[in-house]
């Protein structure tokens, strides 16, 4: 049936599905990008109980809730259909994002503010867990068998484009309103704006028809009565769920999060790059690499999904440490010669009193410009004590701006990492769709996908930081987590997965 679908219709299907998924990712990312401002506005300054809620809202919803969303909405998708389920996830995601923008500040309603944020964040996580499986299944079930990878790869681009859109809208809003107004109330605009995008997307999705394969199942009365039981209680199917998780999505999750998120955090927190520089590097890298989602998705239609995904994992295993070593070496400004320095500009010395003490903190800051166009700030914070005199603090070098050639070298290194993301992520929707039968596909594919992405991928920053805290650890030690998980997934995938594509998913 799908093979006979007119070409313009398949593009409508892709457009409607991708737009909704893009909005879901946009909604999910703006919270992360604005977490600090939200923390100031909606959480009390003195931490207390709300620090726990804050931890849960930011830490837990990011990964713990998504697999549950996959189960809840996957089951619904296999019971009532793909179209209405992922319409529901869109409404839930857009609605909760909109309401986060409306929550009165902590000063107005007290602890109700952080509790409301937590509830809405959990709804966001659940909705995201349900969205992807629906969109990927819906597109795949419309696509011709020889273009399934190509068409579903458009869905794969939306996670990256959602990040782009969220950063873009935040930057534009902040520039128009100014930093102070943005911090005061302007941060609400990206949240409120979400409702416009959602209404447009709902309108488009409402006009779409149910997936032809699901409609056929329904007409024949073959819809699953209990998708959860049939997915996970049926040994033959459960075996494939486990294989999908350990042989593909687990490795894909860590490669994705390392390339797009850990890289930025490493540049900013470990290499101490300037805020704008680290973001521009990432944005350029993503912009150049995004088309390759479609390239690898389409290529997987010809050569199979398995080896493209596993090659992405292998390249990550081999090149992560050399790449991050280069990041460290090129931002090491400790060995600069006096002749390299163009100018040294001291900033006014600032001094603040330490609460409940007569001591104060004195900050001495100096901006150093180098002849090659690079610059950095040297900041030293000393404790000035009435009884012990001046206790000298450690000098910190931060806000590093790179010379142009190094900047573009870093863009190239990020591009390479995102290219690996496109290799592991581009073909995976088609791969998962082909692994499971139509009547339990939404449920069966959503769970391994969200455990792989949400849990294994989402934990990259946490576990990498944890490993870096071990005694004897170096700044590169955190990479052993994604390298280890990708290596495990590579071995399992190479030995147990088949490269053969299932041409008939109409079963």
Partner 1 sequence: MNTLKKFLGLIWMVLGPLTMTFLFMQAIDKVGLTHTDLERTNTILQWAIILFIFLPISLGLMIFGFYAWKGEYDHLPESSDEL
Contacts with partner 1, residue ranges (CB under 8 A): 47-48, 51-52, 55-56, 59-60, 63-64, 67, 234-237, 239-240, 242-243, 245-246, 436-438, 451, 455, 459, 462, 466, 491-492, 495-498, 500, 502, 504, 507
CB of 391 to partner 1, least distance (A): 20
Candidates 375, 347, 344, 376; CA nearest to 363 is 347
DSSP 273: B
Q: Which is nearer to partner 1, 11 or 496 (CB)?
A: 496
CB of 498 to partner 1, least distance (A): 5
- Distance (Å, rounded) from C-alpha 41 to C-alpha 330? 38
Q: Which is nearer to partner 1, 94 or 458 (CB)?
A: 458
As a residue count, the chain comes to: 507
CB of 47 to partner 1, least distance (A): 6
Helices (H) and strands (E) in the chain, counts: 24, 6
CB of 98 to partner 1, least distance (A): 27
DSSP letters of 319-382?
HHHHHHHHHHHHT--TT--GGGEEEEEEPPPEEEEPTTSS-EEEEEEEEEEETTS-EEEEEEEE
CB of 496 to partner 1, least distance (A): 5
In sequence order, the β-bridge partners of residue 382 are: 362
CB of 299 to partner 1, least distance (A): 22
- Distance (Å, rounded) from C-alpha 418 to C-alpha 259? 5
> Integer distance in angstroms from the first to the last C-alpha of the chain?
12
Q: Which is nearer to partner 1, 23 or 53 (CB)?
A: 53
- Distance (Å, rounded) from C-alpha 42 to C-alpha 45? 9
Instruction: Take residue 503 and report the two structure tokens written for it.
Output: 């041409």
- Distance (Å, rounded) from C-alpha 449 to C-alpha 108? 40
Q: Which is nearer to partner 1, 243 or 326 (CB)?
A: 243
CB of 477 to partner 1, least distance (A): 14
Q: Which is nearer to partner 1, 137 or 438 (CB)?
A: 438
Q: Which is nearer to partner 1, 24 or 434 (CB)?
A: 434
Instruction: Take residue 363 and report the two structure tokens written for it.
Output: 């900050």
Q: What distances in angstroms separate CA 479 from CA 323, 324, 370, 463, 470, one per listed residue?
A: 11, 9, 31, 9, 13
CB of 378 to partner 1, least distance (A): 30
Q: Looking up tokens 């995102």, which residue turns up?
A: 418
**460 contacts 62 by C-beta, under 8 angstroms:** no
Burial of residue 6 (number of CB atoms within 10 Å: 0-12, 13-18, 19+): exposed
Q: Which is nearer to partner 1, 402 or 435 (CB)?
A: 435
Q: Which is nearer to partner 1, 86 or 436 (CB)?
A: 436
**252 contacts 453 by C-beta, under 8 angstroms:** yes
CB of 237 to partner 1, least distance (A): 5
Nearest 5°: phi and psi at 143?
-80, 145
Q: Which is nearer to partner 1, 117 or 208 (CB)?
A: 117
CB of 375 to partner 1, least distance (A): 36
Q: Which is nearer to partner 1, 257 or 292 (CB)?
A: 257
């Amino acid at each position: 049936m799908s093979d006979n679908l007119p070409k313009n219709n398949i593009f409508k299907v892709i457009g409607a599905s991708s737009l909704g998924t893009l909005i879901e990712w946009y909604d999910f990312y703006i919270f992360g990008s604005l977490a600090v401002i939200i923390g100031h506005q909606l959480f009390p300054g003195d931490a207390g109980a709300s620090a726990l809620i804050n931890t849960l809202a930011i830490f837990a919803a990011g990964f713990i809730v998504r697999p549950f969303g996959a189960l809840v909405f996957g089951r619904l998708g296999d019971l009532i259909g793909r179209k209405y389920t992922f319409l529901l996830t869109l409404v839930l995601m857009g609605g909760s994002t909109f309401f986060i923008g409306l929550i009165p500040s902590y000063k107005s309603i007290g602890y109700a503010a952080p509790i409301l944020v937590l509830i809405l964040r959990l709804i966001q996580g659940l909705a995201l867990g349900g969205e992807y499986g629906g969109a990927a299944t819906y597109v795949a079930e419309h696509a011709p068998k020889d273009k399934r990878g190509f068409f579903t790869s458009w869905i794969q681009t939306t996670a990256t484009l959602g990040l782009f859109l969220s950063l873009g809208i935040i930057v534009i809003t902040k520039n128009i309103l100014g930093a102070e107004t943005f911090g005061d109330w302007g941060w609400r605009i990206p949240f409120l704006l979400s409702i416009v995008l959602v209404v447009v997307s709902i309108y488009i999705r409402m006009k779409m028809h149910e997936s032809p394969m699901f409609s056929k199942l329904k007409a024949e009365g073959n819809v699953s009565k209990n998708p959860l039981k049939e997915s996970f209680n049926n040994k033959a199917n459960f075996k494939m769920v486990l294989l999908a998780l350990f042989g593909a999505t687990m490795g894909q999750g860590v490669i994705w999060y390392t390339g797009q998120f850990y890289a930025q955090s490493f540049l900013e927190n470990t290499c101490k790059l300037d805020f704008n520089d680290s973001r521009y590097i990432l944005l350029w890298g993503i912009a150049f690499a995004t088309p390759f989602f479609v390239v690898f998705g389409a290529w997987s239609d010809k050569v199979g999904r398995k080896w493209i995904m596993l090659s992405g994992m292998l390249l990550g295993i081999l090149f992560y440490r050399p790449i991050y070593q280069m990041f460290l070496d090129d931002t090491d400004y400790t060995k600069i010669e006096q002749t390299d320095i163009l100018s040294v500009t001291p900033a006014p010395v600032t001094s603040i009193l330490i609460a409940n003490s007569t001591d104060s903190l004195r900050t001495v800051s100096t901006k150093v410009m180098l002849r090659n166009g690079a610059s950095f700030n040297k900041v030293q914070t000393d404790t000035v004590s009435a009884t012990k005199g001046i206790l000298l603090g450690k000098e910190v070098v931060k806000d590093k701006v790179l010379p142009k050639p190094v900047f573009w070298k870093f863009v190239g290194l990020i591009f390479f990492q995102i290219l690996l993301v496109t290799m592991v992520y581009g073909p995976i929707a088609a791969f998962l769709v082909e692994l499971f039968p139509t009547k339990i596909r939404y449920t069966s594919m959503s769970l391994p996908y969200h455990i792989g992405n949400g849990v294994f991928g989402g934990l990259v920053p946490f576990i990498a930081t944890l490993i870096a805290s071990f005694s004897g650890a170096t700044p590169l030690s955190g990479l052993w987590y994604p390298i280890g998980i990708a290596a495990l997934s590579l071995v399992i995938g190479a030995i147990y997965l088949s490269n053969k594509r299932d041409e008939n998913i109409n079963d």
